[in-house]
Amino acid sequence: MDLTVVLPARNEEEALPGVITDLAAAFDRHAIRGEVLVVDDGSDDATPQVLRALAGPRLRVISFPATRGRAHGLAAGMAAARGAVVALMDADGQYDPEDLPALVAALEAGADLANGVRVERRDDAARRGVSRAYNLAVMRLACGVRVRDANSGLKAIRAAAIPRLGFDPQGMRRGHRFLVAQAVRRGLRVAEVPVRHRDRAGGASYIRPWREARHTVHDLVVFRRRMRAVAPAEAPPAVEAS
């Protein structure tokens, strides 16, 4: 199989039908042998029923009995993926499956992980400002990683590189936000690829700025402690822009 697209989803009954339909169309248009792997993070809306209605040979579902968080969903999806490339994509409809071939091309060009960089972001000014501050203060200054969009919800990684990534969200509140920094710290080659950004297809965001700030401080302490225990790569690769 060429590609597994992991969709961590919690209460995305409105967005999932369109997202999965768009993914299937992109697979067909680009002749991709792919599957969609939805990780239902303890949804309490109609998400389970929607997924049952969408059942087909290219859709698999992992269901958590209770909410564990996006990072745990991503970890479970990466562990269960069957594709040679694993894409990580938000399930809210803000990312365009038509950008997947560009991420795959970056991997074929030599990257281990391709990070989507949102252009013309469809977020309000406050969220864009928080994102810029995060990329500067947390990624660049605290982690030493120059990355333009660490919190992008669209990434792709070669399946063979997942063991080297060693992504483990245990003990962290928002461990997925450190995925790019961990990739660099572990010696993976990271490329940045421009991707489109759309309005949310439905549902509501669970992001609350002050709560996220508290979680970020906690996670940064955990991340730096863990990374001190990891032998640094002999020549840590830079994040490359496409």
Structural domains of the chain, ranges and CATH numbers in brackets: 3-241 (3.90.550.10)
Distance CA 84, CA 120 (A): 30
List the one residue out of 22, 39, 32 whose CA is nearest residue 80: 39
pLDDT score recorded for residue 234: 44
pLDDT score recorded for residue 235: 41
Q: Which mean pLDDT values do the consecutive 10-residue runs of the chain (242 residues) have?
A: 95 96 97 98 97 97 96 97 98 97 98 95 67 81 91 97 94 89 95 93 64 80 83 55 66
The β-bridge partners of 40 are: 9, 63
H or E element that contains 117: strand 113-118
Q: How many CB atoms lie within 10 A of CB 108?
A: 12
Q: How many CB atoms lie within 10 A of CB 53?
A: 10
pLDDT score recorded for residue 137: 85
